[in-house]
Amino acid sequence: MKIGILALQGAVEPHLMHLRAAGVDVELLRTSAQLASPDIAGLILPGGESTTMLKLLDRFDMIDPLHRFASEKPIWGICAGSILMAKKVSSPEQRSFSFIDVDVERNSYGRQLESFSVPLAGNSEVAFIRAPRIIRVGPDVVVKENFNGDPVWVSEGLHMATTFHPELCPERPSTLHREFVQRCEKAMSLSQKSR
């Protein structure tokens, strides 16, 4: 099985070690043709800068292929990736893709200097770096983890999103990477059965 990582900008490399430790192949995706490949079972939208990612997705004509991918296969948005996956974004408002029915507030946990790590989701620690806050959760969204009363790991249908960075966790693979691999395996198995 092969999982893709959107590699236009952001924290790409740390995911490679986690996914390889989970026993899957990885492809760094930089083109719409790669995104359309039937070999890719799931996609990670990494942490980084969501407005920059949007501009690059536009520039490389990847937005329509990304929507087609999301309609068939799992996507995991991390920090900036969770902003792209949200239904609505504030502070400031920006375009997003509505892959998960949540509203997010950008940079809600503070500036880069106010970043912090805490033990969450079965890991020794995960990092919050200029993280968004999920301020509304739709009726079909499953909250898998909270921090200080706020949802920080959610899923809906094929997809999941985290407002923190599990790729910086020292254990490899992280609990979240194992969960995403299992989600991709399940989706791939169901897709093969329906053919």
Q: Which of 22, 154, 20 is nearest to 85 (CA)?
A: 154
Amino acid at 59: R
Q: Single out the catalytic residue among 15, 18, 165, 177.
A: 165
Is 38 exposed, middle or buried, given 0-12, 13-18 or 19+ CB atoms closer than 10 A? exposed
What does the block give as tokens for 2? 């092969």
Q: How far apart are the first and last CA of the chain?
A: 18
Q: Please pick, among 15, 18, 79, 156, the residue that the annotation labels catalytic.
A: 79
- Concatenating the DSSP letter of every residue in 4-37 gives EEE-SSSS-HHHHHHHHHTT-EEEEE-SHHHHT-
171 is catalytic: no
Q: Is there a contact between 87 and 104 (Cβ–Cβ < 8 Å)? A: no
Is 169 an annotated catalytic residue? Answer: no
Tokens (6 digits) for 105: 């507030």
Among candidate residues 105, 156, 167, 179, the one labeled active-site is 167
Q: Which two tokens stand for residue 140?
A: 């079909």
Measure the CA–CA gap between 123 and 170, rounded to whole angstroms.
Answer: 9
> Quick check: helix, strand or coil at residue 82?
helix
Residues forming beta bridges with residue 166, ordered by sequence position: none
Catalytic residues: 79, 165, 167
